[in-house]
A and B are shown apart, each in its own frame.
Chain A
């Protein structure tokens, strides 16, 4: 589709493992490997995977907290991957990030007002008075009292701090928000409040989200499309309903069956995967999932499966579904 807001093309990120006297890289951790996808305006793309799947690295690479090892990140046609930090600055305001732990990402010595005002100072030419008015307006939008601007982060609960993080990200009117596990540190009753807020803001501001989380139920709730990652690779990508009804990749299947559901009447058939995720410094040959795959065939050990559109808008990389 030509009108994608964001197009990520074959992006990889390797981290060097340094050693020896000269600190030369001895090996690389392949955190993400040739990831490609598009994001449309106003769309929510859920990214799920377990620890070590590369989902956080992906988010951080897109906003260039990390420099990609290869590939391109096209925002409205401009390749962010090729820009230096200075040239990148005007684009920063369009893609903002919300982190898991809102306490660690808010400076404890700054008031809430100063925190939300900071991006406005950097990215807009608003006067001091206009900025402060804007801060009060943003606080109201995220469901906090406009008078909260004189208080400090420690005076707020986890859910409220997450609201502050969201207000801050919203302040400079981004078109994309990358949210990395935004609700996983919150209690159930508060988690629902923040999810509802994020969904309401999406409508109001026509935001596109990249919503990174390990909790499949949360991702299913908020996303339009869902992408499943394993050991740095995208293994499946489809519209939400299609993915949850007809998972193609055995890893997606196992993931769906692993979630304990809050319904004691539903006794599920379990696919319990054996073993742990292999190390990304030394990923398996062939399909990266073959060491744990209940359906692995001989070909899986040798040949990397191709990323293919198996049915309309449903992509996977699995030899079971490879079309000649």
Chain B
């Protein structure tokens, strides 16, 4: 497998009220060409900040990438100037967000917003760009494409808006599409439409997808590989089937046991006790220890490394080896 993007020891911190908030705290991650990698975690795990760090979208201040590299096609994105980053963002690297309404500009037509990146990145004429925009809307399964080009975002439904966002992201044939909770705001029947669209596009265009989600159902449906984050760190990484069949970190196991499933009929859910520690006050040692059923004294003093526990399978637990 050919490496597309490699993150090395990424640390993205925020500073507020004299506190240091360690949102992403030493993440190493590789995305291979054409794969779908799911980044799973709960709120505050650092999954969204990881993706915003890749895109160079960390607001500074209060945020700062304090160390690490994001290597993409031979360049370290962390060290690029904003101007150079702009030639990559929306071009080689594209991103779609949870709430398409807030990422579309309400005062411009869909047509204007869809043709803009084509005219900037590919220097197309207005006519060419419009033709391409029509083709893109058809690609994402929008009928009546000509009509949609003339509409404003508020005139479209949530599912339609997400299709438009995907069309926009695909406009310049990106190598990597980052999708941050792309279906979380959508109804299930609409979510099913968008997920099947993303699968089709991936097969057709061979784009790699970094899928950020909290929903293990979406992961099972979409991912080739899975990375689980907790409290700013990667705690487990494995191919899809391996992760579901043989989860090694107690947090991953806890998540799997905590979700109600359509297919079984157990009465009691195995909740994970307690809450995620705040990012300005991580506990010493293993960050999951305060909630872990297998905790020992060693866990509260010694920070576990992310170690190899099987073929392509890593876990950050003193007892996973």
Q: Which residues of A contact B (CB under 8 A)?
A: 50-51, 157, 159-160, 187-193, 195-196, 199, 214, 216-218, 220-221, 241, 244, 254-266, 270, 272-274, 276-277
Contact = CB atoms under 8 A, between A and B. Distances in A.
Interface string B252-267: 0011101111110101
26 contacts: A50-B189, A50-B190, A51-B187, A159-B275, A188-B255, A190-B42, A192-B271, A193-B273, A196-B268, A199-B267, A220-B260, A220-B262, A221-B260, A241-B265, A255-B188, A256-B262, A260-B218, A260-B221, A261-B221, A262-B217, A262-B259, A264-B221, A264-B241, A272-B193, A273-B193, A277-B187
B244 A263 contact: yes
A196 B271 contact: yes
A216 B258 contact: no
Contacts of A196: 268-269, 271
Given A262-B261, A264-B220, 18 more contacts: A189-B255, A192-B258, A192-B259, A193-B273, A195-B260, A195-B269, A217-B262, A218-B260, A221-B269, A259-B188, A259-B217, A260-B195, A261-B220, A262-B256, A263-B263, A264-B240, A273-B192, A277-B187
B243 to A, nearest CB: 9
Interface string B174-199: 00000000000001111111011000
B214 A276 contact: no
A195 B266 CA distance: 13
A260 B43 CA distance: 20
B94 interface: no
A255 B192 CA distance: 10
Interface centre among B188, B221, B270 (most CB of A within 10 A): B188
Interface in B213-268: 214-221, 240-241, 244, 254-256, 258-263, 265, 267-268
B159 interface: yes
B58 to A, nearest CB: 23
A220 B265 CA distance: 9
B253 to A, nearest CB: 11
B259 A217 contact: yes
Given A190-B275, A192-B258, A273-B192, A214 B187 contact: yes
Interface in B40-60: 42-43
Contact of B187 (A50, A189, A264): A50
Interface centre among A159, A214, A217 (most CB of B within 10 A): A217
A257 B215 CA distance: 16
B269 A214 contact: no
A188 B214 contact: yes
B188 A188 contact: no
B258 A214 contact: no
Contact of A189 (B189, B193, B265, B272): B272
A189 B260 contact: no
Contact of A262 (B195, B219, B271): B219
Contact of B192 (A190, A192, A272): A272
A217 B260 contact: yes
Contacts of A263: 220, 244, 261, 263
A255 B262 CA distance: 12
B216 A262 contact: yes
B67 interface: no
Contacts of A199: 267-268
Contacts of A50: 187-190
Contacts of B195: 260
